[in-house]
Amino acid sequence: MSTTTEFMRRYRERVDQALQPHRDVYGPDAPVVVMGLRLLAEAETLAQELESEMVTTAEAAERTGWHVETLQARAKAKLEGRPLPPGWEGLEVRQVGGGYVFRIGTIPEKR
C-alpha cells in the first residue's frame, strides 16, 4: 500500500468520525455533512492524481522515505527483469537519461 493510499484511508476515517455526530443530529443531508463529503471527494481525486504522478528518484525518496540507493536498486532490478522483494512487484519505473522516474503510487509504503 502506498503512502498516499494509507494517508487517504486514515483521512476518510477521521472525516467520517467528525461527520458522524452531525449525521446523528441533523441527518445525512445536513449542509456540514454534504460539504464534508464534497471536500473528502476532492481530496480523493487529488490523491488519485498524485498516485499516478511520475517523479524523479530524488523526489520519490523525499516523498516516500526510501533511500535513493534503494529506489535505484529496485528500479534496476525491475528493468532487468529480476525478482523484486515482496511489496515491490507493482513498481512502475522508466529509465530517463542517466536516472529513473517512478510512478509514485507504485512505490510501497516504508515500514
**Mean pLDDT on 32-52:** 89
The SS3 assignment for 1 reads coil
pLDDT value for 46:
86
Q: Rounded to a whole number, what is the largest CA-CA distance in the chain?
A: 59
pLDDT digits (tens, 9 = 90+) for 57-108: 999 999 899 999 999 999 999 999 999 999 999 999 999 988 999 999 899 9
Asked whether the predicted pLDDT for residue 56 surpasses 70, the reply is yes
Count Cβ atoms below 10 Å from residue 75 Cβ, excluding itself: 22
What is the pTM for the complete model shown?
0.65
